């Protein structure tokens, strides 16, 4: 079993829709949760960072962590064509020297 | 501007040939990482280094080698022992002790075997 599971998609939605991207993880010791956005042929860029459980909002983006279910989500409101990218979740343990990444979900927002 | 520079952007390798991918950062980060990305498989860790002259194998180190002679540089050599090297290679860095807060990535090198 992989430490982090993420549906690779692809996911295609119309402009303006609410998008939900999800990951599940197996190790309850994970405390740090991140979402990266990666445009085609580019390196990933850090989009959202969350520690422990709860929600974090940044503009149209909301990151949610449910540690009881070992489930993390990224919501995109009022989605735009410029949001079309691959979204990667990443998790980490306190003191660990490396992140664990999900497979990435390829998202397309259609005008 | 601070950042990570990977070169070249595209690289072609003949069978049996070793090639070296460059990664340079001016962020004064201690830790540097090399990942391989294949479609549908996410990022897989090849090697990482926390300090100069020290590095550790990641999950898929076979067929690869690295060096860390300078803090700002972490080159990756793809050797002829790597049987399926065609992939997108990403270099990343972060401050030592800040692993939990995310990495900064370079723009990647796309390696193709011809």
Q: Which tens digit of pLDDT belongs to each residue from B67-92?
A: 999 999 999 999 988 889 999 999 99
Burial group, residue A1, by CB count within 10 angstroms (0-12, 13-18, 19+): exposed
Optimal mutation site among A31, A43, A56, A93, interface B, most CBs of chain B within 10 A? A43
**A77 pLDDT above the threshold of 90:** yes
Sequence length of chain B is: 114
Asked if B102 and A97 come within 8 Å (Cβ–Cβ), the reply is no
| Candidate from A31, A43, A49 with C-beta closest to B107 | A43
Sign of CA dihedral B79, B82, B88, B94: negative
Strand partners, B109: B89
What is the three-state SS of chain B?
Answer: CCCEEEECCEEEECCCCCEEEEEEECCCCCEEEEEEEECCCEEEEEEEEEECCEEEECCCCCCEEECCCECCECCEEECCCCCCCCEEEEEEEECCCCHHHCCEECCCEEEEEC
Q: Which residues of A touch B111 (CB under 8 A)?
A: none
Q: What is the pLDDT of residue A103?
A: 92
Residue A28, CA atoms < 13 Å, CB-side half-sphere: 3
Q: What is the pLDDT of residue B2?
A: 73
**A95 pLDDT above the threshold of 80:** no
A contact set with B (CB within 8 A) = 6, 8, 31-32, 34, 36, 41-46, 49, 51, 88, 90, 92-94, 96-99, 101-104
Q: What is the pLDDT of residue B69?
A: 97
**A82 pLDDT above the threshold of 70:** yes
Specify the pairing of strand A11-14 against strand A105-110: parallel
């Amino acid at each position: 079993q992989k430490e982090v599971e993420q549906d690779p998609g692809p996911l295609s939605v119309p402009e303006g829709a609410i998008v939900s991207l999800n990951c599940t993880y197996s190790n309850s010791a994970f405390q740090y949760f991140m979402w990266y956005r990666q445009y085609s042929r580019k390196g990933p860029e850090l989009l959202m960072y969350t520690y422990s459980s709860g929600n974090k909002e940044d503009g149209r983006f909301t990151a949610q962590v449910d540690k009881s279910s070992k489930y993390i989500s990224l919501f995109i409101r009022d989605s735009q064509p410029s949001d079309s990218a691959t979204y990667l979740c990443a998790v980490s343990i306190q003191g660990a020297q490396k992140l664990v990444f999900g497979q990435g979900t390829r998202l397309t927002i259609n005008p | 501007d601070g950042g990570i520079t990977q070169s070249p952007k595209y690289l072609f390798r003949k069978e049996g040939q070793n090639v070296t991918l460059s990664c340079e950062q001016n962020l004064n980060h201690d830790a540097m990482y090399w990942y391989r990305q294949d479609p549908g498989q996410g990022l897989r860790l090849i090697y990482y280094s926390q300090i100069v002259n020290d590095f550790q194998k990641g999950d898929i180190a076979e067929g690869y080698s690295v060096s860390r002679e300078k803090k700002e540089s972490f080159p990756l050599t793809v050797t002829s022992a790597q049987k399926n090297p065609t992939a997108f290679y990403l270099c990343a860095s972060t401050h030592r002790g800040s692993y939990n807060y995310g990495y900064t990535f370079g723009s990647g090198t796309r390696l193709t075997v011809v």
